[in-house]
Amino acid sequence: MREERRRRKLHLSKIYSFTCGKSSFKEDYSNIGGRGYSRVVFCNEPNGPEAVTQNYPDNYVSSTKYSLATFLPKSLFEQFRRVANFYFLVTGVLSFTKLAPYSAVSAILPLIIVIGATMVKEGIEDWRRKKQDIEVNNRKVKVHKGDGVFEHTEWKNLMVGDIVKVEKDEFFPADLLLLSSSYDDAVCYVETMNLDGETNLKLKQGLEVTSYLQEDVNFKDFKGTVKCEDPNANLYSFIGSLDFQEHQYPLSPQQLLLRDSKLRNTSYIFGAVIFTGHDTKVIQNSTAPPSKRSRIEKKMDKVIYFMFGILLLLSSVGSIVFGITTKDDLKNGLMKRWYLRPDNSTIFFDPKRAAAAAIYHSLTALMLYSYFIPISLYVSIEIVKVLQSIFINQDTHMYYEEADKPAHARTSNLNEELGQVDTILSDKTGTLTCNSMEFIKCSVAGVAYGRGVTEVEKAMGRRKGSPLIHEQVNGIELDDIRDSTDTKAPIKGFNFSDERIMNGNWVNEPNADVIQKFFRLLAICHTAIPEVDEETGKVSYEAESPDEAAFVIAARELGFEFYKRTQTSLSIHELDLASGKKVERVYKLLNVLEFSSARKRMSVIVKDEKGKILLLSKGADSVMFERLAKNGREFEEKTMKHVHEYADAGLRTLILAYRELHEEEYKEFDEKFSEAKNSVSADQETLIGEASDKVESNLILLGATAVEDKLQNGVPDCIDKLAQAGIKIWVLTGDKMETAINIGFACSLLRQGMKQIIIHLEAPEIQALEKEGDKIAIAKASRENVRRQISEGTTRLTASGGTSQQAFALVIDGKSLVYALEDGMKNMFLELAIGCASVICCRSSPKQKALVTRLVKSGTGKTTLAIGDGANDVGMLQEADIGIGISGVEGMQAVMSSDVAIAQFRYLERLLLVHGHWCYRRISLMICYFFYKNITFGFTLFLYEVYSSFSAQPAYNDWFLSLYNVFFSSLPVIALGVFDQDVSARYCLKFPLLYQEGVQNVLFSWRRIFSWMLNGFVSAIIIFFFCTKAMELQAFEKDGRTAGRDILGATMYTCVVWVVNLQMALAISYFTLIQHIFIWGSIVFWYIFLMIYGAMNPSFSTNAYKVFLETLAPSPSFWLVTFFVAISTLTPYFSFSAIQMRFFPLYHEMIQWVRHEGKTNDPEYCDIVRQRSLRPTTVGSTARVAARNRASNHR
């Protein structure tokens, strides 16, 4: 409690020298009350008469696709927008008329089953989303109920104007105006990872006038009116004013706490609710959940349209022939088709009304030939996709045991799309990284320390083919390193091991005094707050960013323990070089010069116990080396060499330097700095920067730090595999450019030697215009600047010829992206980006992430996959063809809006290369087979029509027609869709290039679809003519009876059942017991059905009455015809497949050959197969090793 009280009294606004500036009306507040700025909030009066009239929405949020009222109409619309379902609805209605060639029940029942099953599935999936919404909306927060009393209430009950109390580590339930906090000057730490992906803490500060409201009772009589901008999607702007105690105070983004960000390092805050529910900025940045359909399903609709064309053609041809034949039926009293009684006929066969008869016939034919369109196709695919999703969910290789999180396919509509991904758009923080930094190496006085091995080095070592444990780092075997480090419990943020400077051994090093200054700088130059555990005495730190925490922890572990901060001092336990004992030293804190993306450095000015004034600085090498004094460059060359090595290993580096200031020099600086800090002009930051620049010069170099932005396990290997599979990877992050580039190196998206095209708006002319504040001029100049940079990048790309040796990386910041995504420029930007091996977009807002995703999706026409873990990624996930949510440690917003949820980025490799490839192949083959079997069946109906002069008489019994797709040919195709594998999971991962079959849509191309259709027409012709010719002239039974329609129909149907099921057996690559049962069971079930149905009353079984037992079974010719027709029909397909497999194999067939011939472990043979690469691999550790080998050979 003492520590807590001490922290509460700390005036952080004096530590954070220029983050918390005061707003003034010199900024653009003139619009308040006008259009777009009309919101009025009555604080602490949510139910007041004036507040009620505003009619603001409540705080309930929903991510569901349906509501109770819209489920039935919207779901029915979803089903009947599928053209096949709509067609079957029309034929089902027509089956109740006299035109129908079959009974109405047999037509309408399958449709009801199909539509009902699909709607039930959709309802279950949406109910799961609903349950997640309920969990979020029912979270609790303290709200002021009156008389200074705060009670817990659910988030959904909050109203605009409510005063809420949010406590440490809680999420903000709505967009709040910060009134006060547990700190005296109303500051608080906020983690915005769910919004912009950044893990570093942001500092917010309430108005000074409300900072006294630190107790619950203070709100008993509190009243205030906020006038501000209307709800909008801009996360980084807020304009408003607070009318309080008859004064008006300006509000800025500094006072706005956004929904779904988290309160950190602050005991509590009080805030007034400004925006609720769907008005909040995070929800404004998200879009409504779209109805996503896979490319294969969309193409399947086109195939069905094509089948409709065939159906209409056959109906039209048949009707014309029928009309002509009917007209000629009665001439001069002579009847050609006497059995139709043309002299006394209904309109359907009346020669005098032949045209009308032909029209009626066309409607009947449309119903009869409906079997060309597979009614069970959609429902079979739905069943298969649900079962595929279950297999994805239960895959133990994608189960994250540490967090007890399996993979979860939240929708099954897009399984096959997982096998066709061309571009992955990934968030960085929490997706590629674990949100933790580890101090791993350092260079001090030109000597490299630290024997840790990074993820990148591990991946490169494996690619070289040498086990990592046999490699050496600084001459030490890595097994020894492991033996020495594994015994000690791991420390978060610290992965450093080097016996030369650990355990106080640094005092024996040649440059011990430099090492002392180096770690002392790490212990002092920061803004972290220590927390001492009173029971154990251990010190932990709350830092503004993970890397800052890593530095303080490293200093502590190496003997420089920062343990206490006051308003004006820092206290450290450190080893005294002279006495060799641990002593307590207090440094007086004079100034903090904060880090910013423009400055790229941070400094503190302190006074030690001897009265020396020291400036301690750490920053990026690009700005620090140029600030060194002539006598401070002793270790520059060696340090620079180490920094390049660290960068190549994917580490984030900072240069550490210091200088001593004279008293007069410091006084001059302090005056200028204080004057700049207290300025309220627009160029306040520029004045502060100028004052800082002058003092941060003539520095003496100490060394460099190397921190690993800890990637999730297996990220470099996963990216390498995905790159080998030909998938392009873009990183879209809200982080700074330097951070994003470092991560690019860490996960091998970038490498040394790769040419970088960097597009930003840091040009001097732009900065000069920004000082003047002319927004129109700034926009115009920025637009032209970005256009010029894109053009120059495209020219460089074109000049290189786009070879893999000249790989380019595109890095663009959020400001430039605003202009690059404009209509006149976005195609230029996309053309440049597509030509680059890697693309990194930094400082991207959630809206920009979604817009970039939309641009890639629409511009390339290829399948895009977005992957992220925070609320800032929701728009991107919903915009992409497939959204993958990482179910990480923070929030569930991304998961709730995703199509598939996984716990770690590395599982993407198996999800795409294994499950994606299998699902794509299964669904493709399944659809092709469906059309094949329905054409085989439907075309026999047409051929029989031709044979019987288009009399609209079906060749088969009504229930034979209805049950063909349901019982006799559906189960084997479902088994194919669930179990078939062209190659095993091991080979999918061993030969990632196999994935390109899906990207290039090899297995569902028009050529392949038409070849299966042709196979169906050929099969139907062979079956029909063999059966009719075999039974036409000779007696069918020994008593001399010839075959009639019942016998011919049953025989043809039997042949069709055998042929389509045996065709399935030939098409399958991977047999399971279930497939055997379904294929042979379907054939056996046909015979069982024929016996049971034939035994029923003739009024029900009609022409199938005892046809099998009394007629077909006793006849040898029936069995002979069945056998020879089946063999003859399958011979063309078998011959074609054998020739293709032997002489023109597809990529998966090549891998099958490798496995068949037992050459899976022959590296030379496997490399020959891999060399059929369809695009060069330009990113990943494989490309990094290849580039390094090329460079070595060149040298």
Instruction: Please give the positions annotated as active site.
Output: 427
Neighbours of 197 (CB within 10 A): 27
Q: How far is CA 944 from CA 223, 228, 259, 368, 870, in A?
A: 87, 77, 68, 12, 61
DSSP state of 1068: -
The token duo for 939 is: 């075309």
Residue of 198, 323, 179 lying closest to 254 (CA atoms): 179
DSSP assignment string, 799-865: HHTT-GGG-EEEEE-HHHHHHHTSTTTHHHHHHHHHHSSEEEE-S--HHHHHHHHHHHHHHH-SEEE
In sequence order, what are the beta bridge partners of 247? Answer: 244
Using an 8 Å Cβ cutoff, are 900 and 409 in contact?
A: yes
Question: For residue 570, what are the β-bridge partners?
Answer: 565, 587
CA distances from 748 to 735, 753, 941, 1046 (A): 18, 12, 60, 69
Residue whose entry in the numeric block shows the structure tokens 């094509």: 306
CB 178 within 8 A of CB 204: yes
> 703 has which bridge partners?
444, 656
690-720 core/surface letters (b: 16 or more CB in 10 A; e: else): ebbeebbebbbbbbbbbbbbbbbebbbbbbb
Residue 88 near residue 111, CB atoms below 8 Å: yes
Nearest to 497 by CA among 475, 481, 478: 481
Beta strands in 474-538 (DSSP E): 476-477, 529-532
Helices (H), 39-82: 49-54, 71-80
Report the amino acid identity of residue 812.
I
- Of 1180, 424, 285, 425, the residue nearest 732 (C-alpha): 425
Among 888, 868, 826, 872, smallest CA distance to 731 is for 868
- DSSP character string of 1019-1077: HHHHHHHHHHHHHHSS-SSTT-PPP-HHHHHHHHHHHHHHHHHHHHHHH-SS--HHHHH
User: Distance between CA 839 and CA 832 in Å, rounded?
Assistant: 10
For 884-919, the three-class secondary structure string (H helix, E strand, C coil) is: EEECCCCCCHHHHCCCEEECCCCHHHHHHHHHHHHH
* 3-class DSSP assignment, residue 625: helix
The DSSP 8-state label assigned to residue 490 in this structure reads P
**DSSP bridge partners of 811:** 758, 840
Residues in the chain, overall count: 1195
DSSP string over 330-348: EETTEESSGGG-GGG--GG
Task: Retrieve residue 840's tokens.
Answer: 């990194």
Closest CA relative to residue 1103, chosen from 964, 944, 957: 957
How distant, in Å, are the alpha carbons of 466, 525, 627 from that of 646?
Answer: 21, 22, 21
Q: Mapping DSSP to helix (H, G, I), strand (E, B) and coil, where does residue 592 land?
A: strand
Using an 8 Å Cβ cutoff, are 217 and 142 in contact?
no
With CA atoms as reference, report the closest residue to 573 among 537, 618, 528, 613: 537
- What type of residue sits at position 483? D
The helix (run of H) or strand (run of E) holding residue 256 is strand 256-257
Cβ proximity of 242 and 39 under 8 Å: no
Hey, what are 833's tokens?
């980006």
